[in-house]
Chain A
Amino acid sequence: MTAAASPLRRVLDALPITVFVLLFIYLSVNSNSFLSLPTLELILKQAVPTVLVSLGLATVIIAGGDDVVSGGIDLSIPATAIICAAIVADQLTNREATLIWGLVLAFGAAGVIGVVNAGLVVWVRMTPLLATLATSVAVVGVTKVITESRRIGVTDPTIVFIRDGQIAGIAAGVVLTAIVALAFWHLVHRTRWGMNLQATGGSRDAAQISGIATNRFVVQSFLLAAFTGWIACTFVLARGSGSSPGSEENLLLEMVLATFLGAAFSPRRVVTVWGAVLGAVLVSALSVGFISIGVNVFWTGCIKGALILLVVASAAAGRAQ
């Protein structure tokens, strides 16, 4: 006996993909350059920071479950990336420290954020949505103190290489990000640790009964998320040639959209690592596409917000069916 999905559920499942396909058709028709190799490369380069933070968010959602309110979510990853970028830029430019030292300091900061998030969720038992929103706001505040709300330019050769360099003829940032993404995919989808992480998010009770220490996995997911924020910081610096406070907002928007959009592409309709990567690339393509046909950047934000609503709402409605 099998329980077939209802027709309404199938429509809801297909809705986000359909809307995206229609948007891409529209962009291809209205822009001469949208379907070209240079644009593709630009899309991938632009996608890099979003891919990295989406890996983190996907990990947290997989460990905490995909209920938008009570499940796992970490809104502080973009803020983590931005504060790490600020710390590195401040060390390099204002204090003439080495890149390594800047990265070490930033790693410490990311670690603190991860521990605070994990502590609030697992021990204080706050909902992840509120806990990470609060950390995010606090982290943005500290970032402003560090940078005095000003842009800090960076000219470190390693950062410049990540921006302009190539590995095997492909942009260095894209290659490095692909390696990180592959590592995450293997960890989450191809190891015992990953299966236990998925079980924890899939059903906390089932996981516990199977002898899985669920809290440990939730804690580790928040630490990994902070870690992706830390990795993303170098790419944020490369993309902007320095640290720019305020850029976490767009990153947050793209991260949430990419990760939940990824679920719509997964055969099981759940958040996955490769789905998040694909989602991030599509979201980047959308941004580049809108610019190429001259859509006002403020409208782009509005459209992305509407798409988040569409993706998350259709997932929620599909579950209710």
Chain B
Amino acid sequence: MAHALLQMHDITKSFPGVLALDKVALSVRAGEIHGLVGENGAGKSTIIKVLAGVYKADGGSVAMDGETLGDVNPRTIHAAGVRFIHQELHLVQHFTVTESVFMGQELSGPTGLRRREMTRRAEAFFREALGTELQGSTLIRDLGIAERKLVQIARALIDGAAKLVVFDEPTAPLSSGETKKLFAAIKRLKERGIAMIYVSHYLAEITDICDRVTVLRNGRNVAVFDDILPDSADAMITAMVGRELDALFPSSNHAAAAQMLQVTGLAHEAFSDVSFEVRAGEIVGIAGLIGSGREELVDTLYGLRKPSAGSVVFDGAPRTFKAPRDAVAAGMVLVPRDRRHDGLVLDMTVSDNVNLASLDDISTALIERRKAGAEKAAGVTAQLDIRPPNPAAVARNLSGGNQQKVVLGRWLTRGAKLFILDEPTVGVDVGAKVEIYTLVEQLAADGAAVIVSSSDPAELVGLCDRVLVMLRGEIVAEVQADMLGIDHLVALTTGGQAA
């Protein structure tokens, strides 16, 4: 058995009010690809940041090659031969491949930069270490995403001192063809004896390339898998999820009525051939990881992005929304995923935020009737139990859950026919979650159609009637929620199980 290259022991890290890591261990052997998996919030990013020296652990030890590192900071970790391939590419668009690879570590002689030597070394590295031909003089903006990823990898490894490389979600923006290219490069690095930590939500990839896998859940170790087989994904999901559906959800069984939305063959850069329908009184969920095209689909429906093909029939008529105002005018509204930036004007009052989309109703001849607006806002505040129950409160000072209710309240005043809720409960406490779920349930019961796009599988299973699963830009499954367990949904979104 190979010796342990990296040993992290009893790593504990807490943030105000949250214990993010509770005595977590991570051990990587020389020359292996070690998978790190877990749901959102399981502690994967936190332990990687502790290893990178970005976060200082409250307790525990980190050892490389059997030597305990006294102070873990970005410098000592770099000196120990650990390199990080971040999820974001962080490249300069107008730089050449050579310039990007040697950024911050340029070779220089008495007469200035040694450009030829840098190009020679970069091209040789691509050929020998990553198994691909890449011209040093090509501009980054002329490369595909997979090739940019390879440039990022080359930058981390060109100095030849890397012993352990950490990949954070490297395939999230890649298509499956591009993923194969990346994997070929990763396997070549393994042949050169470089150990890797591979963080990913895509379990099919984990079982494909990893030798061992550590599973985290709620900041704790729950399992280490030593022999990875294609069907290990099921066991990993069970370890990752390890919970039953919370009793947060109101009973949901709706008599779906007339068709409200019919999407046929919709396509965009990030997704293709998406078709589905939503009926009045129905709650339809969209599941998918980052990079699955879920966010782009929501934006496209709402007129924020331009589709490249396909048609949308909404409320009985074919529609092309050029901008959100067209969608709103037709009765389709969006509660955006980033409520602080896109959902609210944070420095305005609750009242002003609520009335923002229906100013016509409370104005006469272009003059706003403040009193009417305040009354309307007071009604919404009471109806949704927004706390504090004061329409004059500034939105910035409200809790996440109450801010979300304000955004919802804005659309309630317009009487929309289709509500699209994008990540409706991110950063919302449990109490407010229940209230938002009840409200969504009420919307459907009153005859509105609802689409919930979410990264929380429990939310989709618990709240929706039907769930569409997106994977790498395609709808790979459409399942009735009462037939769907959380494990099953996770398996579908992570590619751990065929539809």
Task: Point out residues on A near B: beta carbons under 8 Å.
Answer: 1-3, 186, 190-192, 194-196, 198-199, 202-203, 205-207, 209-212, 268-270
Cβ–Cβ contact B90 & A191, under 8 A: no
A190–B91 Cα distance when bound, in Å, is 20
Q: Name the distance in Å between B19's Cβ and chain A's nearest Cβ.
A: 29
B106 contact set on A, CB distance < 8 A: 192, 195-196
Please provide the chain B residues from 99 to 127 with a CB less than 8 Å away from any CB of chain A in the complex.
99, 102-106, 108, 111-113
Cβ–Cβ contact A205 & B144, under 8 A: no
Cβ–Cβ contact B86 & A209, under 8 A: yes
B interface residue count range (under 10 / 10 to 19 / 20 to 34 / 35 or more): 20 to 34
B141 contacts partner chain A, Cβ-Cβ < 8 Å: yes
Cβ–Cβ contact A191 & B113, under 8 A: yes
Cβ–Cβ contact B103 & A186, under 8 A: no
Mostly, the B contact residues are loop
Q: Name the distance in Å between A1's Cβ and chain B's nearest Cβ.
A: 3
B92 contacts partner chain A, Cβ-Cβ < 8 Å: yes
Q: Name the distance in Å between B184's Cβ and chain A's nearest Cβ.
A: 15
Q: Name the distance in Å between A112's Cβ and chain B's nearest Cβ.
A: 31
A198–B102 Cα distance when bound, in Å, is 13
9 interchain residue pairs of minimum CB distance: A202-B92, A210-B104, A1-B144, A190-B112, A206-B90, A268-B94, A210-B103, A192-B106, A192-B108
A157–B144 Cα distance when bound, in Å, is 60
Cβ–Cβ contact B91 & A206, under 8 A: yes
Please provide the chain B residues from 16 to 51 with a CB less than 8 Å away from any CB of chain A in the complex.
none
A-B contacts, 10 of them at CB < 8 A, read A3-B144, A191-B112, A195-B99, A196-B104, A198-B95, A202-B94, A203-B92, A206-B90, A210-B105, A210-B155
A269 contact set on B, CB distance < 8 A: 94
B92 contact set on A, CB distance < 8 A: 198-199, 202-203, 206
B88 contacts partner chain A, Cβ-Cβ < 8 Å: yes
B142 contacts partner chain A, Cβ-Cβ < 8 Å: yes
B372 contacts partner chain A, Cβ-Cβ < 8 Å: no
A209 contact set on B, CB distance < 8 A: 86, 90
Minimal Cβ-Cβ distance residue in A for B155: A210
Cβ–Cβ contact B94 & A199, under 8 A: no
A294–B298 Cα distance when bound, in Å, is 60
Minimal Cβ-Cβ distance residue in A for B143: A2
B119-149 CB contact bits vs A (8 Å, 1 = yes)? 0000000000000000000010111101100
A198–B88 Cα distance when bound, in Å, is 20
Q: Which of A2, A191, A203, A207 contacts B108 (CB 8 A)?
A: A191
B93 contacts partner chain A, Cβ-Cβ < 8 Å: yes
Cβ–Cβ contact A190 & B142, under 8 A: no
Cβ–Cβ contact A195 & B142, under 8 A: no
A202–B91 Cα distance when bound, in Å, is 8
B94 contact set on A, CB distance < 8 A: 202, 268-270
Given A195-B103, A195-B106, A202-B95, 11 other A-B contacts at CB below 8 A? A1-B147, A2-B144, A190-B113, A199-B95, A202-B92, A205-B90, A210-B105, A211-B105, A212-B103, A269-B94, A270-B94
